[in-house]
Every structure is written in C-alpha cells, then in structure tokens.
Amino acid sequence: MSDSGATNTTSSSDASIGPYNYVPTQWICILFVSLFGISTAIHLLQAIKFRMWWLFPTVMLAGVLEILGWSARLWSSISPALLTPFEIQLVGTIIAPTPFLAANFLVLGRIINQLGPQYSRLPPKLYAIIFCSFDLVCLIIQAVGGAMAAEAVNTNGNADEGGNIMLIGVAIQMFAMTLFVICATEFFLRFLKDSPIRKYAMPMSEEKREAKLYEWDTMKFLVFGLIFETVFLFIRAVYRTIELEDGWTGPIISTEVYFNVFDGAMITLAMFTMNLIHPGLFLGRPVTDVV
C-alpha cells in the first residue's frame, strides 16, 4: 500500500482530496477508541473470570478490530490524505461486528440447551454450526470486498466492485440475523406456552416445569440483552447496506455523522450491553457443549 503524494495537513481543503470525502473529527475518533478499549478490557476480565474462552475469537476479536479501525480513523484525522489508515479502517470496521454476532449465536444455543431443546426448531449444536457458518462466510466476503475496495482506492481505481462484494457480505449477515430472530422468537414462545416441537417419551413433570420457569425468571435478563444487541447490530447492517448501495462517493458514505451514529455508536452500545448483561452471570457451564 502506497502513501505517495500524501500531505500531513488537517485543513478543510483536504476533505476534497482525502478518500473519505471529509476529514474524520479527531475528538470523536479518540472517544470511540477509548470506549472500545474500555469495553474490550472489561470483556477480557469477564472472559477470564467466567472461564468463557469462546469470547476471545468472538467479542474480544470484534473489540480489537474496532480499536484498530477507529485508531486508523484517528490517524486519518491527523493526516486525512493518507491512504494506509483509510484502508485499515475500511477493513477493520466492516468485519468487526461479524465475530460479535457469532457470540450471540453461541449464547442462544446455550440458553436453548438449558431451558429445553424440545422447544427449539433446531438442536442447540446446530445453532452454532449453521449460524456461525453464515458468520464465517460473511467475514470472508466482507474481508475480500474490503481489501479490493481499499486496493482500488490506493491505485485511484474504481472501488465499486469491492463495495458490491462487501454489500453481498452485509446482505448475507442481515439474512442470518433475520433467521436467527425468527428461530429465537419461536423457541421462546413455545417455551412460555409449553408447546414443544419434539415430544419426549416421558412428559416434563410439574416440578421440573416450575424449575425451568424459575430459571427463566433469571435468564430473561440475558434474553433482553440479546434483543438489544441484535437490534443494534441490525441497525448497523441496514446502514451499511444503504451506504454501499448509495455508491462509493455518494452522500451517505461521504457524511461522517451517519457513520459515527449508525456504525460506531451501534457497535459500542452492543458491546457495552454484553458487558452489563454478561452471559457469564446467567450461564452456569461453558458453552463447549453446544459447539
């Protein structure tokens, strides 16, 4: 990646020559780097405390990628015409939410395993296999598209092809989230109505049913956390879809406040929601039995 011809000024005239079509606001970049750093550090401590090692390749990875992406945007706020930080933030921020979403898939599988697999359309293990496979495909597609777009920008080429590939990855991610919500909603409705899909030879005793409902009274806070996180991630995916469809030089991608609110803020809220409503507080055993 080449930075030839770059300048180190932050004047407003650089907005016309920089790859963003604007100069990233420095204090906002510092704010998001700090917020993602704090949340990621807390997640590290929580993962160690609750011995949930699966958080490292999911939530922790998402946090590190966001820190990397926003650090690159901070770099761009100082030297807005440089291409290297633009390329780093492009790839980092587009793929960061994908591993975070995988954590939600794993948590849902664990909840289903504890409350009753007979109420779920899919066995708990399949949630991890199917939805994390979707996530992996999205990660690869978005990474390839981001790299292609970054290379096109670096060589003064047309970045639309890479942007279209990124759009495919985001669209698949939205489809996976929609399917995830449908499956989760059906499970919780069937659990609350005691309407299992798979009938067991021995019906659940009244005592066991009451025990499961008591467990639900505590578990529902974790479910609310998943709902909030999914809403934040879905808003971000909708924004990214509109942004990429609008074109690489369109008004959406060229307006900083849209990115700050609908990308940065949404992922920040999702990460801090999991900090506050952490699965380690509600899931007694490791998630290895569903992966």
Position 3 scores a pLDDT of 44
Q: State the residue range of the domain holding 241.
A: 95-281
Q: What is the mean pLDDT of residues 44-59?
A: 95
* Confidence label for 85 from pLDDT (cuts 50, 70 and 90): very high
Position 226 scores a pLDDT of 94
pTM of the model: 0.85
Domain presence at residue 225: yes
Domain presence at residue 127: yes
- Kindly tell me if the per-residue pLDDT of 6 is higher than 60: no
Sign of the dihedral defined by the CA atoms of residues 10, 14, 17, 19, in that order: positive
Q: Which residue has the higher pLDDT, 10 or 194?
A: 194
Domain presence at residue 199: yes
- Kindly tell me if the per-residue pLDDT of 16 is higher than 80: no
Mean pLDDT of the chain: 85
Q: Which residue has the higher pLDDT, 9 or 245?
A: 245
Report the alpha-carbon angle 118-120-124, nearest 5.
95
Which of 104-108, 145-149, 168-172 has the weakest average pLDDT? Answer: 145-149
Kindly state the greatest CA–CA separation across the chain. Answer: 74
Three-state DSSP string of the chain:
CCCCCCCCCCCHHHHHCCCCCCCCCHHHHHHHHHHHHHHHHHHHHHHHHHCCHHHHHHHHHHHHHHHHHHHHHHHHHHCCCCCHHHHHHHHHHHHCHHHHHHHHHHHHHHHHHHHCHHHCCCCHHHHHHHHHHHHHHHHHHHHHHHHHHHHHHHCCCCCHHHHHHHHHHHHHHHHHHHHHHHHHHHHHHHHHHCCCCCCCCCCCCHHHHHHHHHHHHHHHHHHHHHHHHHHHHHHHHHHHHHHHHCCCCCCCCCCHHHHHHHHHHHHHHHHHHHHHCCHHHCCCCCHHHHC
Q: Which residue has the higher pLDDT, 263 or 118?
A: 263
Domain presence at residue 54: no
Q: What is the number of structural domains in the chain?
A: 1
Domain presence at residue 238: yes
Domain presence at residue 27: no
Q: What is the mean pLDDT of residues 144-149?
A: 82
Position 9 scores a pLDDT of 38
- The answer to whether 241 touches 171, Cβ cutoff 8 Å, is yes
Position 77 scores a pLDDT of 93
Q: What is the mean pLDDT of residues 85-90?
A: 90
Domain presence at residue 5: no
* Confidence label for 200 from pLDDT (cuts 50, 70 and 90): low
- Kindly tell me if the per-residue pLDDT of 181 is higher than 70: yes
Which of 220-224, 240-244, 286-290 has the weakest average pLDDT? Answer: 286-290
Q: Rounded distance, CA 173 to CA 228, Å?
A: 17
Domain presence at residue 20: no
* Confidence label for 17 from pLDDT (cuts 50, 70 and 90): low
